[in-house]
Amino acid sequence: MPAALFSPLHIGPYRLKHRVVMAPLTRMRADKATLAPRPLNVEYYAQRATPGGLIIAEASPVLPTGTGSPNVPGIYSEAQVAGWKRVVDAVHAKGGVIFLQLWHVGRVSHSSFQPGGALPVAPSAIAIGDDLKAMTADGKLAAYEMPRALETDEIPALVAAYGQAARNAIAAGFDGVEVHGANGYLIEQFLQSRSNQRTDRYGGGIENRCRFLLEVTQAVIAACGADKVGVRLSPYGIANGSGEADPMPLYTYAIEALNKLGIAYLHLIEPRSSGAGRADVNWQNVPSAIALFRPIWKGVLIGAGGFTGEPAEAAVAGGQADAIAFGRYFISNPDLPARLQHGWPLTPYNRPTFYGGEEKGYTDYPVYQEMAKA
């Protein structure tokens, strides 16, 4: 039995009974009209809830402009808050803890998602390269458009939107929120020099490029308290056109600054899995994010990306991480913590069913004990 993974852990005010975390996973199955969670989503999350287990619910745009995929749930309308409340209530009924990931995709969008058909916004007018394609509102693929650079005086309203989204999440009953600062989305676009060529206080040197991340985090803290806030980063990631030539100085500064804010946890994605869902990626000869930044980060550290049971147990037992978030195997194994604890075999995932659709590949994966009885 993996002892470290199944020892208790305090995250903020919550005492977890185990350290197997469900990672935030975009599944594109929200109600098409309202972009609110629906009964199918309630069932999906309830299947994966465990007593004292942490679920980080899927990335949810804080504004309509922050959307870049069809049928993703938001957290900016009353209908969305009501839909999420049903999800949260179902997870709490099973004794689980659930945070919501707050999202704005920035340039990783398309005008078909934008109010009035406007261009997506970004720190700078730099398009994602031609080798990647945008998804349109009708699910087709198209070239990424040149985004519109945000004006300096527009940024405070964006920061405030994250704060309001956090308040909405707490109103829905979430135990906390996670700021999505990874995978090439808006916050990471501000962080990295290849996507941020601004000349105002949000661009240039590392301190300025980290300003948006820190202002957003502070706004979210003001909304729900530092002990109910996590931040997710991907220091060596190359998703959605991202990638910093020398990540250590940038992310060392960012993580040291986050240390001072007293947040509940830091969530780091391993570079070996930086595909942001587009494909299975397994980079060789790359550094471990949790190993590099564990000496810098003073609080609870969650690692994610390509972990299976034994490496997860080793990372926690060795002190490189305090918990491990699982994505793809939590999709195909609703009872993943029990399978890891007992050494039961894992059901393989079916990638073509990850995004969009109904029950198939979403709520129809079996529980091991039911399979064993059959």
Give SS3 for 144: coil
* CA dihedral for 286, 287, 290, 291, sign (positive or negative): positive
CB 161 within 8 A of CB 274: no
Distance CA 355, CA 359 (A): 11
Between β-strands 229-233 and 176-181, what pairing exists: parallel, antiparallel or unpaired?
Answer: parallel
Q: Where are the alpha helices (DSSP H) in the chain?
A: 39-47, 78-93, 155-171, 186-191, 206-209, 211-224, 247-259, 289-293, 309-317, 328-332, 336-342, 368-373
CB 55 within 8 A of CB 49: yes
Q: Which of 76, 144, 162, 185 is catalytic?
A: 185
Distance CA 322, CA 19 (A): 7
Q: Based on the residue annotation, tell me whether 185 is a catalytic residue of this protein.
A: yes
Q: CB atoms < 10 A from the CB of 124, how many? A: 19
Tokens (6 digits) for 333: 């194994």
Q: Which positions are annotated as active-site residues?
A: 185
